[in-house]
A and B are shown apart, each in its own frame.
Chain A
Amino acid sequence: MRTIIFIIRKEFTQIFRDKLMVRIIFLIPIFQLLILAYAVTFEIKNVRFVTVDHDRSTLSGKLINKFNGSAFFQYYGNAENYEEAVQLLTRNKADQILMIEPDFGKKMNTEKRGKVQVVTNAINGNAASLMSAYATSIINDFNREIIVEQNPTGFSGFPIDIKPRFWYNPEMDYITFMVPGILVLLVTIIGMFLGGMNLVKEKEIGTIEQINVTPIKKFQFIAGKLIPFWIIANIDFAIGLVVAKFVFNIPIVGSLPLLFFVVSVYLVVILSFGLFISTVTNTIQQMMFITWFFVMVFILMSGLFTPIESMPQWAQIIDYFNPVAYFVKINRMIMLKGSGFFDIQKEFWILTAYGVVMLIFSTQRYRKTA
């Protein structure tokens, strides 16, 4: 135990001697949170729509105005014909085309039906489905208004009126949804890289040679590498929470002690993951590249950006081995839903087991002999 304390003290001396590193460790997370929380959003605003109005009646004007009045849409202008409108779409000047058939207004009066067409640029599938949903809802709204207008007495509304209410994030605020996830990303990057980089650096510059001839035991050495960064990452997480609470007003509904307890376990998992990688590599370059691969896969598949439920079956199976996915889930549950230990225990025990396994792996793989 004394030996571990000496190693930890040595690591801290080295970390705090590197002024640049200290700044990186404590400032980067804050910047990351500030930038990503605002930037990473799926909300669609300012959809540029172009109309092809073959009717040019009061009614068609009304429909276009309805689009124009919505916060989501930005009117680009009217195109002469369909070809011209498509060209605007191709040249990325517009995102959506609203085409209105000739005599739309007249037909609505006489035949009680008219045709409009909506064409959406679907390069980004997610955005396209949102845009088309917005467009559909505006047209539905318009529809309803006309029905009411034409039958002021006979129409008493649709039989089922749907008014959705969103729980845990009532305003469907993306920042509320993303910030707990970005906090995970932040501690993940710190945990995966710093510990491992530190170990592999000793290999690269040769200081490990002198360490290896001492009676330091494997677990003492690994613990000496893990604990300093475990402490640092916990502090980073705390800073992140403060920013989340006071800058973004994220409601932290659940218990803070529980949150820190889970973070502590999670950090053991990823720190030992990073240390394991560094025990099987010899240079910082190799270590960084392999770690980056895992970090990318883990984060993109974590459910941080896209829901795991909509991933293909095989990807969901891979996600059983993704520590980040468990923690993103737990973190959102505790922070936004106020879940207690009972609700997260399955994910928690999996993380604990994962941590134990990775810790054993990294300790065993670290060889004092070449």
Chain B
Amino acid sequence: MSININIQNLSKSFGETIALKEISLDIKPNELFGFIGPDGSGKTTLFRILTSLLLPDSGTATVDGLDAVTDYKKIRKLTGYMPGRFSLYSDLSVEENLNFYASIFNTSLEENYDLIKDIYSRIEPFKKRRVSALSGGMKQKLALSCALIHKPKLLILDEPTTGVDAVSRKEFWELLKNMQEKNITILVSTPYMDEASLCDRIALMQNGNMLAVNRPQQIIDQYERQLFEVKTENMHPLVSDLEKYNREALVYRFGEYVHVSTYNGDEREYVFALQGYLTGKGYDQVIIQKKIPVIEDCFLALMDKSQTL
């Protein structure tokens, strides 16, 4: 049986800096739950509390009914944690690292080989190699193998895909999906918004607050505004001109387009008026299209809302 997590009014500050502000959250058994947010939004702090590396200032967190502060010893046996910073011994070989972590959990590589086979088989040809000589993607797979070596029921991964190439990132998420099928509850944090849609549910985090917690699709469905993408010949002054045009709108660059997010009512009217304004400003080849928001748009809209509140 996989495990659930219950977080109630959890707060943590470091001096003046508030890292977590009264967070409450329930994570269901066997969920693949994502924490999405920029650096400094409190993701790592939350993970460090759940893995008993940090004590909360107030509030409670329970893992499988075990209190993160008082029952930490039991939690450590249940949990596999992969810190954001690579934390294995770079002067030991792949095999030596795995065997070491297996042995301190009182198990062995052979015993749990099935669980990590998917991941480990990809780095097994290099098992005699020292970790310092591995590529980023291989290090990440080794770290995941080490976090799984004791058959944890809960896997906590702090920004596992940061600094990893696009192909390895995709591969990594596939591996996570496989892990989930083996009845493991997975918490993962990432600054990459595009990875959000791969999670069952996500929490959007900003400055120690949770802006929204929901299924990715529902977060998109709940987008309260209209979103347009704008493209012209001359992109440089476009953002500031669009901001001047509509001061309530949220204007930001998005790939080759500029996104304009507004509360404006009628779509056609808005597009027509904006087209006129931009042409009047001397822009050529103006393209304005209605756009279906992605998580990043939702995040920025929610962030904007929380700031104006």
Contact = CB atoms under 8 A, between A and B. Distances in A.
A210 B104 contact: no
A207 B104 contact: no
Interface in B61-105: 73, 76-77, 79, 81, 83, 85-92, 96, 100-101, 103-105
Interface stretch (A3-11, A161-169, A229-237, A278-286): A3-11
Interface residues on A, range: 20 to 34
A214 B101 CA distance: 8
Interface string B45-73: 00010011111000000000000000001
A369 interface: yes
Contacts of A370: 48, 53-54
A17 B91 contact: yes
B53 A213 contact: yes
B100 A10 contact: yes
B146 interface: yes
A220 to B, nearest CB: 9
A368 B53 contact: yes
A207 B89 contact: yes
Contact of A369 (B54, B83, B104): B54
A17 B54 CA distance: 33
A141 interface: no
B52 A3 contact: no
B79 A213 contact: yes
Residue among B54, B55, B87, B146 having the largest count of chain A Cβ atoms under 10 Å: B87
A368 B76 CA distance: 11
Given A6-B100, A213-B53, A213-B76, A14 B89 contact: yes
A6 B103 contact: yes
A206 B53 contact: no
A10 B87 contact: no
Contacts of B89: 10, 14, 207
Contacts of A207: 87-89
A66 to B, nearest CB: 66
Given A10-B92, A13-B96, A213 B104 contact: no
Contact of A213 (B51, B85, B91, B100): B51
Interface string A179-222: 00000000000000000000000000111111011111000000
B205 to A, nearest CB: 20
Interface string B91-132: 110001000110111100000000000000000000000000
B104 A214 contact: yes
A111 interface: no
Residue among B77, B79, B96 having the largest count of chain A Cβ atoms under 10 Å: B96
Given A10-B92, A210-B146, A215-B77, A3 B87 contact: no
Contacts of A369: 52-55
B88 to A, nearest CB: 6
A209 B92 CA distance: 17
A134 to B, nearest CB: 57
A210 B81 contact: yes
Contacts of A205: 90
Contacts of A210: 81, 83, 87-88, 101, 146
B10 to A, nearest CB: 15
A18 interface: yes
Interface string B237-254: 000000000000000000
Contacts of B79: 213
B82 to A, nearest CB: 8
Contacts of B88: 207, 210
A221 B103 CA distance: 14
A209 B53 contact: yes
Contact of B104 (A3, A18, A206, A368): A3
Contact of A215 (B48, B76, B86, B100): B76
Contacts of A10: 89, 92, 96, 100
Interface in A26-71: none
Contacts of A216: 104
A207 B97 CA distance: 11
Given A14-B92, A370-B48, A209 B87 contact: yes
Residue among A7, A215, A370 having the largest count of chain B Cβ atoms under 10 Å: A215
A214 to B, nearest CB: 5
A7 B146 CA distance: 16
A206 to B, nearest CB: 5
A157 B269 CA distance: 131
Contacts of B48: 370
Contacts of A208: 87
A205 B86 CA distance: 9
Contacts of A212: 53
A150 to B, nearest CB: 82
A132 B84 CA distance: 69
A349 to B, nearest CB: 36
Nearest to A210: B87
Contacts of B85: 206, 209
Contacts of A214: 76, 101, 104-105
A209 B85 CA distance: 9
Given A207-B89, A210-B146, A213-B81, A7 B53 contact: no
A147 B51 CA distance: 92
A123 B273 CA distance: 94
Contacts of B104: 3, 6-7, 214-216
Contacts of A18: 91
8 contacts: A3-B103, A10-B96, A207-B87, A209-B83, A210-B146, A213-B79, A368-B52, A369-B55
Cβ-closest 4 pairs across A and B: A210-B87, A6-B103, A213-B81, A209-B83
Given A6-B100, A13-B92, 4 more contacts: A6-B103, A207-B89, A216-B104, A369-B54
